[in-house]
Amino acid sequence: MGRYIVRRLLYAIPVLFLVSLVVFLLAWQALGDPVVLMLGQDADPRTVARLREDLGFNRPVAVQYLDWLSHLARGDLGRSFRLPYGVVDLILARLPVTLQLAIQALLLAICVAIPLGIMAALHHNRGLDLVSSTLAVLGVSMPNFWLGILLILVFALALRWLPSSGYVSPLEDPLGNLRLMILPTVTLAAAYAGTLTRIARSSMLEVLGREYVTTARSKGLRESRVLVGHCLRNALIPVVTVVGVEFGRLLGGAVVTETIFGLPGVGRLVIDAILGRDYSVVQGVVLFMTAAAVLSSLIVDVAYAYLDPRIRYD
Provide Rg for the chain, Cα atoms: 24
Same domain, 116 and 53: no
Rounded Cα distance between 186 and 194, Å, is 12
Amino acid at residue number 218: S
pLDDT bracket for residue 153 (50, 70, 90)? very high
> Residue 306: is its pLDDT beyond 70?
no
132 belongs to a structural domain: yes
Phi then psi for 79, rounded to 5 degrees? -125, 150
Rounded Cα distance between 204 and 231, Å, is 7
Per-residue pLDDT tens for 29-55?
Answer: 765 666 766 666 667 777 777 877 777
CA angle centred on 184, ends 183 and 188, rounded to 5°: 120
> Residue 79: is its pLDDT beyond 70?
yes
> Residue 300: is its pLDDT beyond 80?
no
- Outline where DSSP puts E strands in the chain: none
270 belongs to a structural domain: no
149 belongs to a structural domain: yes
Per-residue pLDDT tens for 284-294?
Answer: 888 888 888 77
Same domain, 142 and 253: yes
Same domain, 241 and 156: yes
Q: Output the pLDDT for position 182.
A: 92
Same domain, 136 and 255: yes
Same domain, 175 and 61: no
Distance from chain centroid for Cα 257: 11
Q: How many residues does the chain have?
A: 314
Same domain, 134 and 257: yes
Phi then psi for 86, rounded to 5 degrees? -80, 155
Across residues 253-277, what is the average pLDDT?
Answer: 84
Name the more confident of 38 and 152: 152
101 belongs to a structural domain: yes
Residue 202 burial (CB count, 10 A): 15
Per-residue pLDDT tens for 93-106?
Answer: 888 999 899 889 98
CA angle centred on 251, ends 247 and 257, rounded to 5°: 120
Q: Output the pLDDT for position 151.
A: 92
Same domain, 124 and 180: yes
> Residue 314: is its pLDDT beyond 60?
no
> Three-state SS for 58?
coil
- CATH number, domain with residue 233: 1.10.3720.10
Same domain, 170 and 216: yes
290 belongs to a structural domain: no
Same domain, 125 and 17: no
163 belongs to a structural domain: yes
Query: 113 and 196 in contact (C-beta within 8 Å)?
Result: yes
Per-residue pLDDT tens for 11-24?
Answer: 777 887 888 888 88
Highest mean pLDDT among 8-17, 148-157, 279-288: 148-157
Per-residue pLDDT tens for 88-139?
Answer: 889 888 889 998 998 899 899 889 988 888 888 888 888 888 888 888 888 8
Give percent above pLDDT 90 in the chain: 7
308 belongs to a structural domain: no
Rounded Cα distance between 167 and 163, Å, is 10
Same domain, 252 and 109: yes
Query: 117 and 313 in contact (C-beta within 8 Å)?
Result: no
If one counts the domains in the chain, the total is 2
Domain boundary among 220, 237, 264: 264
pLDDT bracket for residue 184 (50, 70, 90)? very high
Which domain range does residue 173 map to? Answer: 96-264
Residues 6+ apart with CB under 8 A from 124: 205
Q: Output the pLDDT for position 307.
A: 61
57 belongs to a structural domain: yes
Rounded Cα distance between 235 and 207, Å, is 6
Which region holds residue 78: left if phi is over 0, alpha if psi is between -120 and 50, else beta?
left
